Amino acid sequence: MIPLMKKSVLSWFMLIAILVTLQMMDGVEAIDIIPKVVVEITNAVESSQLSFHCKDKTRDNGFHTLAPNATYSFGFKIDTFFQSTLWFCLFTWQNQKEDSHYTDIYVKTRDDCKNYNWIIGQSGPCKLLNEDDKNENCYPWNDKEQHEFQGRKILLIANITTQQEPPLSCS
């Protein structure tokens, strides 16, 4: 009886390990245990292509370029256990006065919805919670020195941001 029980317990542990591993993989949906966030970025920079690079401490979404008024979307799984998911982006466009601009595109301690639409303009990023939302939540660009300091610190503590806003409701 004991060997049969050990096999049963071992089988359950293996099944749980497989499901958890599948949940951690991008693009694989096993059971919706770990929530996924979808972020849309829309280029609102006048008459200029928007180049951007988004990443978190372990994943890199790569470099992308958007034509004026075009939209790009990507998704990722959030860290539900440690509440430390942080995605940030670097934005550049032609004829800008400064080299580049940074913003925190998703901060787990600030954001609690599953879908975000960011409108990127020259004055800064603005967030819409859904298509029906007419009120934009606009933010200033992150300070470059603070962003570089945070980039080193994010490897240790991923939920620190340059500005802490209260969570926004999804309704």
Ranked by mean pLDDT, the top range of 37-51, 86-100, 154-168 is 37-51
139, 132 in Cβ contact below 8 A?
A: no
Write down how long the chain is. 171
For residue 110, give the CATH number of its domain. Answer: 2.60.40.2890
Rounded Cα distance, 72 and 38, in Å: 10
What is the pLDDT averaged over residues 156-171? 43
What is this structure's pTM?
A: 0.65
Which helix (DSSP H) or strand (DSSP E) does residue 163 occupy? none
pLDDT in tens, 117-149: 899 998 889 988 655 656 678 888 887 666 555
What is the pLDDT averaged over residues 89-117? 82
Is 40 in the same domain as 76? Answer: yes
Is 7 in the same domain as 53? Answer: no
Per DSSP bridges, beta strands 115-121 and 36-43 are parallel
Identify the pLDDT of residue 91.
92
Is 46 in the same domain as 126? Answer: yes
Question: Does a structural domain hold residue 159?
Answer: no
Is 23 in the same domain as 38? Answer: no
Q: Which DSSP state fits 34? A: S
Lowest mean pLDDT among 79-83, 99-103, 111-115, 135-139: 79-83
Q: What percent of the chain has pLDDT over 90?
A: 19
Which helix (DSSP H) or strand (DSSP E) does residue 40 occupy? strand 36-43
Is 20 in the same domain as 85? Answer: no
pLDDT in tens, 15-62: 888 777 766 665 555 455 667 889 999 999 988 899 999 998 888 888
